[in-house]
Structure 1
Amino acid sequence: MAGVVVDDHGRALLIQRRDNCHWEAPGGVLEQGEDIITGLRREVLEETGLEVTPIALTGVYKNMPRAIVALVFRCEAEAGALRESDETAAFRWVTATEVADLADEAFAIRVQDALASRQTVPIRQHDGVHILG
């Protein structure tokens, strides 16, 4: 899963990964027993130092060779400050056009979809449970 953090200027936050130097939206995989929203918030916080609120599910993507399904959420930063980590070497705020020049196509499309003004699946909370739709 990935969190596309969007600022007040409509730009997305990309991280440069330490392991491969690629530019991507922050994210990762769930820990055993972890719900999607908690895992998303944890991963974004670990990689950026930002506490975020997911606003909408903007895409579901499958990596065919690796049989991985990725959920991508548009997020807003609520607190914290950008900081490098063991996983993150640098940060950059980018427009939908700029992301195509920095990120691999599969990751750029995810960010562009999150920035686009199209139908998204909102996230609601009911009795402490996050509900998509």
Structure 2
Amino acid sequence: MARTEYLNDPAAPAPNSIVVAATAFVAETDGRILLIQRADTGRWALPGGVLGLGERVTDTAVRETREETGIDILITGLIGIYSNPRHVLAFSDGTVRQQFSLCFRAHPLGGSPSPSAEFLDVRWVDPGTLRELDIHPDMLVRIGHALSNRPLPYLG
């Protein structure tokens, strides 16, 4: 399903849904972070996805990371809650979703990067090279919060 992201765009369609999503900021001991390249937009992002019925939101982050990247993780903390009403996703089926996501800090337990059909690439990225990648501004905010090691989670 095709999707278009809008951020601070007065021409964006009005949201007609909201779902809970979870992303994982996974860092290796050398500081490299796990990123996926989305097939639908070509943009790089943290792994993550939508909360399933009967699932804990931390389990969503673990499951989605494993499915999307081949890496097993352990959740170690909350980076923040992201609910910007000016960030909407419009899907080809007519759904227009307001963004709502919890971003968790995680430690890799094992596995090797291997993309699923939804993604063009999965790789460990040196934070110093992030500017070379096409990353959505709201995703960069989450990554920035994680890299800054904020003492408290972001609430916004």
TM-score range relative to shorter protein: 0.7 to 0.9
Deviation at 1:30, TM superposition (A): 0.7
SS of the equivalent of 1:33 reads coil
Q: Which amino acid aligns with 1:47?
A: E
Q: Which of 114, 119, 122 does residue 146 from structure 2 map onto?
A: 114
CA-to-partner distance for each residue in 1:26-69, whole Å, 9 max, x for gaps? 00111112111111111000000011001110111113143332
- RMSD over aligned Cα, in angstroms? 1.6
SS of the equivalent of 2:68 reads helix
Moved more, 97-106 or 68-77: 97-106
Deviation at 1:82, TM superposition (A): 1.0
CA distance 1:119–1:11, change in 2 (3 Å): same
Distance in 2, Cα, partners of 1:55 & 1:100: 26
Provide the residue aligned with 1:125 in structure 2. Answer: none
SS of the equivalent of 2:140 reads helix
Question: Larger Cα Rg: Structure 1 or Structure 2?
Answer: 2
Q: Which has the higher helix share?
A: 1
Structure-to-structure mapping, 1:1-133, within 5 angstroms: 1-65=22-86, 66=88, 67-102=98-133, 103-120=135-152
Unaligned runs of 5+ in 1: 122-133
Could you tell me whether the CA contact under 8 Å between 2:49 and 2:61 is conserved in 1? Answer: yes
SS of the equivalent of 1:39 reads helix
Q: Percent identity?
A: 34
SS of the equivalent of 1:63 reads coil
Runs ≥4 residues deviating over 6 A: none
Could you tell me whether the CA contact under 8 Å between 1:55 and 1:73 is conserved in 2? Answer: yes
Unaligned runs of 5+ in 2: 1-21, 89-97
Deviation at 1:100, TM superposition (A): 3.9
Question: Scaled by the length of structure 1, what TM-score is found?
Answer: 0.82
